[in-house]
């Protein structure tokens, strides 16, 4: 079949694998790899059982926190080809995503060599024990390195045929691996000796033949045993439901493998003395097993399956970067082959890197290099989740509920500390390489998707405000920049309080007192100064976080146009304006509002009109009623309801989404449509479809009389003829509790 360019990232083959085959099995096969057979005994012998268990807990804690961060990102966005790279690039932008993508690609490519080196080491330990004449002869002719290179070529050939062939082979490998695990676990239970276990409590002092290793060096050697958590995520483009499979499959794999490693370390400590564990960890494990040959089979299965997983994952990361057109040189590797879009060009590059690493060093050295690369990658994953969670973007609504931004921060700090403790110099060099890659990509990366940095920068200082202006707005990062316009902030305190619910410290709330004054300019200036102090005092007394401003003009209606054009802080121009409806009978104020509505209608701004009495702050709010009448206004109405329900005054309040239909056939269709909309929007609301022949106004008045806040839509024609709108709606508004009428420009997208 001929190759077809798939540089357009929108090309996405249908998912082929579920949670077990696509995530759980690849993760287990990678985690239960070379370290379990070749170095677990040495870890116990060098560190002692108690420190070995601490190392296990630390390694699993880092990878578990990273998985929580990964799961939050995976369930908050559509996941496509590229796995971790794709998710982070869509979270922190193409420059950050490119840095993590290149880091992950190199670490995965290096891992191929690492696992196959482990395979060769085990093979030659069987053929020629270390120190034997045959071993020296083989080493002198570089037979182990040549064998490793040949095996890498064999794994490459299998991978080159495609993911289907490779992933089908994993089930046979998994069966062999689990039989091997069962063999040494049963043997360990049968031969467990409490006295030997007690003698393996402390760390090893070391001898002239086999020197002792420090705690963090042992940690670095062991850490690759926990680094298979991205094996499933890197197959994201081949998963049927990545947002479900990635969290579930990865967490199950972590729990399953943790239990195996815990049992293995404990049983090894109760079977052999520390010198035997250090000098011959593989032989000791084989002797402990009920059937030694199964251990050899397990070594081969574990090492080759891990290499296979890395050979599948690494090229897909590079391919996704090429398809994103992140950098022109990478576009060559974005080309896919066949209907499954196999990344053959990127697979060849992975082969070249792995072959070069074979000649660079032994298993322990490569293990430490891999640990450093993976710690950088995991730190970036945690950092991206922390930024998303801490920024408070309304669009960050992950379906995975076990994540909180402190977990992302703890994971990032844990990775950084572990890197420094392992090797301070190499850690600084690695961090410098990652930072250099990031800054090199900054400004060069060609991706134009939105990222959460804009949300984080939103609340920062003037320097960051200047940076924010360079970042284009997008639906994912939409925030309410809400300007409350009033001529008397004290009289309209209830409206200002309502505005604080809708903004909920997720955007920018400003209160602009627009007052008429026919005097001279200096008199208006004095009036403005006094009124600005009053607005700030009102906000402070009510505990409302908002920007205060006051504009005194000769005529409010005539000058509103100028105010709306110029009212902004850099790029933080208001996208929503809010007014209050005067009660019936106040004809002068109503006439002024009618004139202002005609002016506002000419601007591309969302409009919120508030009707309500004084708000009782001592009463906890219980229910918000949102009357749905279409997507145009509905998305903004729903987002305002979501933000208000998350406010301290509305915590745990119930949101009802209501819609009126005339027939039974419409009832079922409307209920299904709104339920699907809420599920896709990742919101919690109760859908109620009202079947009634009565006028809609009567239904709304009956159903929402007991609500604490009602949200209704406002048509564009109503802004132009606001006088007629008030005349027709006054009877309904008089029967309702505090109500907001919303007119949206359509820029808000619930699916973002």
pLDDT tens digits along 538-572: 888 888 888 888 888 888 877 787 777 777 666 67
Residue 7 lies in a domain: no
Confidence (pLDDT) at 749: 81
- Asked if 207 and 107 sit in the same domain, the reply is yes
SS3 track for 309-323: HHHHHHHHHHHHHHH
Residue 47 has pLDDT above 80, yes or no: yes
Distance between CA 272 and CA 276 in Å, rounded?
6
Per DSSP, what are the bridge partners of residue 510?
483, 547
Distance between CA 674 and CA 144 in Å, rounded?
64
Residue 209 in tokens: 């033949």
- Mean pLDDT (the chain, rounded): 82
Distances (CA, A) of 240 to 32, 55, 71, 291: 25, 35, 16, 39
Contacts of 273 (CB under 8 A, 6+ apart): 196, 199, 200
Residue 626 has pLDDT above 90, yes or no: yes
Contacts of 209 (CB under 8 A, 6+ apart): none
Which pLDDT band holds residue 229 (cuts at 50, 70, 90)?
A: confident
Counted residue by residue, the chain has a size of 752
Domain tally for the chain? 2
Which pLDDT band holds residue 367 (cuts at 50, 70, 90)?
A: low
Contacts of 586 (CB under 8 A, 6+ apart): none
Residue 80 lies in a domain: yes
- Asked if 305 and 367 sit in the same domain, the reply is yes
In contact, 284 and 42? CB cutoff 8 Å: no
> Span 441-449, mean pLDDT?
63
Distance between CA 1 and CA 658 in Å, rounded?
54
Distance between CA 282 and CA 277 in Å, rounded?
8
- Asked if 716 and 646 sit in the same domain, the reply is yes
Residue 464 lies in a domain: no
Instruction: Enter the DSSP assignment of 162.
Output: -
Q: What percent of the chain has pLDDT over 70?
A: 86
Residue 25 lies in a domain: yes
Q: pLDDT for 335-347, tens place per residue?
A: 888 777 788 888 8
Confidence (pLDDT) at 460: 44
> Span 127-147, mean pLDDT?
65
- Asked if 399 and 508 sit in the same domain, the reply is no
Q: pLDDT for 472-512, tens place per residue?
A: 667 777 889 899 999 889 899 999 999 999 999 888 898 98
Phi, psi of 750 (to 5 degrees): -65, -25
- Looking at per-residue pLDDT, the higher value among 245 and 308 belongs to 245
- Asked if 545 and 425 sit in the same domain, the reply is no
Give me the helix-helix angle, 696-704 and 722-735, nearest 10°. 40
Confidence (pLDDT) at 110: 85
Query: Domain of 671: which CATH number?
Result: 3.40.50.12370
In contact, 102 and 437? CB cutoff 8 Å: yes
Q: Which of 395, 413, 441 delimits the end of a domain?
A: 441
Taking alpha carbons only, the member of 151, 512, 161 closest to residue 355 is 151
Residue 587 lies in a domain: yes
pTM of the model: 0.66
Strands 3-4 and 336-337: antiparallel
The CA-CA-CA angle for residues 159, 13, 254, to 5°, reads 60
Phi, psi of 549 (to 5 degrees): -155, 160
Taking alpha carbons only, the member of 270, 208, 369, 199 closest to residue 41 is 270
Per the structure, the complete domain to which residue 698 belongs is given by 478-743
In contact, 405 and 452? CB cutoff 8 Å: no
Distance between CA 592 and CA 557 in Å, rounded?
7
Taking alpha carbons only, the member of 565, 568, 593 closest to residue 580 is 593
- Looking at per-residue pLDDT, the higher value among 55 and 381 belongs to 55
- Asked if 285 and 411 sit in the same domain, the reply is yes
Contacts of 448 (CB under 8 A, 6+ apart): 94, 472
Which pLDDT band holds residue 195 (cuts at 50, 70, 90)?
A: very high
Which pLDDT band holds residue 461 (cuts at 50, 70, 90)?
A: low
Taking alpha carbons only, the member of 501, 505, 492 closest to residue 535 is 492
Residue 140 in tokens: 């002198």
Three-state DSSP at 708 gives: coil
- Asked if 223 and 93 sit in the same domain, the reply is yes
Q: pLDDT for 150-182, tens place per residue?
A: 888 888 887 776 666 666 777 888 889 899 999
Distance between CA 211 and CA 213 in Å, rounded?
7
- Asked if 545 and 423 sit in the same domain, the reply is no
SS3 track for 469-534: CCCCCCHHHCCCEEEEEECCCCCCHHHHHHHHHHHCCCCEEEEEEEEECCCCHHHHHHHHHHHHHH
Distance between CA 62 and CA 67 in Å, rounded?
9
- Looking at per-residue pLDDT, the higher value among 63 and 326 belongs to 63
With 0-12 CB in 10 A as exposed, 13-18 as middle and 19+ as buried, what is 618?
exposed
> Span 656-665, mean pLDDT?
88
- Asked if 437 and 482 sit in the same domain, the reply is no
Residue 250 has pLDDT above 90, yes or no: yes
- Asked if 436 and 536 sit in the same domain, the reply is no
Confidence (pLDDT) at 65: 93
Element containing residue 626 per DSSP (H, E): strand 623-627
Residue 523 lies in a domain: yes
Query: Domain of 216: which CATH number?
Result: 1.20.1740.10
Residue 525 in tokens: 């200036």
Identity of the highest mean pLDDT range in 148-152, 283-287, 571-575, 618-622: 283-287
Confidence (pLDDT) at 263: 96
Residue 288 has pLDDT above 90, yes or no: yes
Which pLDDT band holds residue 271 (cuts at 50, 70, 90)?
A: very high
Residue 308 lies in a domain: yes
Which pLDDT band holds residue 621 (cuts at 50, 70, 90)?
A: confident
End-to-end CA distance of the chain: 38
Contacts of 354 (CB under 8 A, 6+ apart): 109, 110, 112, 113, 116, 152
Confidence (pLDDT) at 447: 57
Taking alpha carbons only, the member of 67, 107, 108 closest to residue 372 is 107
In contact, 7 and 334? CB cutoff 8 Å: yes
Confidence (pLDDT) at 6: 36
Confidence (pLDDT) at 12: 45
Confidence (pLDDT) at 86: 79
Q: Is the dihedral of CA 136, 141, 143, 145 positive or negative?
A: positive
- Asked if 393 and 516 sit in the same domain, the reply is no
Q: pLDDT for 682-695, tens place per residue?
A: 888 999 999 888 99
- Looking at per-residue pLDDT, the higher value among 386 and 423 belongs to 386
Distance between CA 97 and CA 122 in Å, rounded?
37
Token pair 């505090």 is found at: 738
- Asked if 367 and 483 sit in the same domain, the reply is no
> Span 290-302, mean pLDDT?
87
> Alpha carbon 540 to chain centroid distance?
36
């Amino acid at each position: 079949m001929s190759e077809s360019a798939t540089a357009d990232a929108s090309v996405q083959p249908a998912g082929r694998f579920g949670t077990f085959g696509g995530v759980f099995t690849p993760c287990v096969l990678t985690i239960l790899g070379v370290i379990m057979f070749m170095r677990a005994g040495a870890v116990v012998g060098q560190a002692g059982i108690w420190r070995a268990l601490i190392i296990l807990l630390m390694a699993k804690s880092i990878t578990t926190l990273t998985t929580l961060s990964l799961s939050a990102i995976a369930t908050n966005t559509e996941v496509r080809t590229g796995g971790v790279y794709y998710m982070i690039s869509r979270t922190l932008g193409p420059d950050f995503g490119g840095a993590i993508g290149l880091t992950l690609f190199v670490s995965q490519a290096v891992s191929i060599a690492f696992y196959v080196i482990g395979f060769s080491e085990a093979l030659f330990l069987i053929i020629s024990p270390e120190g034997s004449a045959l071993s020296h002869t083989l080493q002198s002719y570089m037979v182990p390195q040549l064998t490793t290179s040949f095996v890498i070529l064999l794994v490459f050939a299998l991978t080159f045929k495609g993911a289907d062939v490779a992933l089908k082979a994993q089930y046979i490998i998994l069966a062999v691996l689990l039989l091997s695990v069962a063999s040494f676990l049963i043997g360990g239970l049968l031969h467990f000796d409490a006295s030997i276990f007690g003698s393996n409590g402390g760390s090893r002092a070391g001898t002239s033949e086999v020197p002792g290793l420090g705690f963090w060096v042992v940690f670095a050697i062991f850490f690759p045993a926990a680094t298979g958590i991205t094996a499933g995520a890197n197959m994201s483009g081949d998963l049927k439901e990545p947002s479900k499979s990635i969290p579930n499959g990865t967490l199950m794999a972590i729990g399953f493998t943790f239990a195996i490693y815990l049992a293995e370390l404990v049983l090894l400590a109760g079977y052999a003395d520390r010198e035997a564990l250090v000098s011959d960890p593989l032989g000791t494990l084989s002797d402990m097993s009920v059937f030694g040959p199964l251990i050899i089979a397990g070594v081969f299965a574990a090492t080759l399956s891990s290499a296979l997983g890395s050979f599948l994952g690494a090229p897909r990361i590079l391919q996704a970067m090429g398809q994103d057109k992140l950098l022109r040189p990478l576009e060559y590797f974005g080309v896919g082959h066949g209907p499954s879009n196999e990344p053959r060009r990127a697979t060849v590059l992975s082969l070249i890197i792995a072959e070069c690493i074979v000649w660079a060093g032994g298993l322990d050295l490569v293990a430490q290099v891999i640990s450093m690369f993976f710690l950088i990658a995991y730190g970036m994953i945690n950092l991206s989740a922390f930024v998303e969670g801490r920024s408070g973007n309304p669009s960050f609504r992950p379906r995975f509920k076990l994540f909180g931004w402190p977990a992302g921060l703890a994971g990032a700090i844990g990775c950084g500390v572990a890197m420094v403790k392992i090797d301070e110099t190499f850690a600084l060099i690695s961090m410098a390489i990652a930072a250099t890659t990031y800054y090199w990509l900054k400004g060069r990366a060609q991706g134009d998707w939105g990222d959460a940095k804009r949300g984080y920068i939103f609340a920062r200082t003037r320097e960051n405000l200047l940076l924010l202006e360079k970042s284009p707005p997008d639906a994912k990062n939409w925030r309410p920049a809400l300007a409350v316009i009033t001529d008397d902030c004290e009289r309209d305190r209830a409206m200002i309080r309502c505005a604080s619910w809708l903004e909920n410290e997720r955007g920018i709330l400003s209160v602009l007192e627009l007052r008429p004054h026919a005097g001279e300019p200096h008199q208006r200036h004095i009036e403005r100064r006094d009124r600005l102090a009053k607005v700030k005092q009102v906000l402070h007394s009510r505990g409302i976080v908002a920007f205060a401003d006051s504009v005194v003009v000769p005529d409010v209606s005539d000058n509103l146009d100028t105010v709306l054009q110029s009212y902004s802080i850099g790029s933080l121009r208001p996208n929503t304006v809010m007014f209050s409806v005067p009660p019936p009978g106040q004809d002068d104020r109503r006439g002024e509002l009618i004139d202002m509505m005609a002016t506002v209608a000419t601007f591309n701004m969302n409009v919120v009109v508030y009707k309500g009495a004084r708000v009782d702050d001592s009463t906890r709010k219980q229910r918000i009623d949102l009357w749905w009448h279409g997507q145009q206004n509905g998305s903004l109405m729903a987002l305002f309801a979501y933000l208000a329900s998350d406010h301290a005054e509305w915590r745990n309040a119930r949101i009802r989404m209501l819609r009126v239909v005339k027939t039974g056939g419409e009832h079922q269709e409307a209920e299904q449509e709104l339920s699907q909309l809420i599920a896709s929007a990742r919101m919690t609301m109760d859908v109620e479809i009202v079947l009634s022949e009565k006028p809609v106004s009567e239904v709304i008045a009956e159903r929402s009389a007991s609500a604490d806040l009602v949200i209704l839509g406002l048509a564009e024609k109503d802004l132009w003829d606001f006088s007629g709108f008030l005349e027709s709606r006054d009877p309904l508004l008089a029967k309702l509790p505090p109500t907001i009428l919303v007119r949206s420009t359509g820029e808000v997208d619930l699916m973002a």
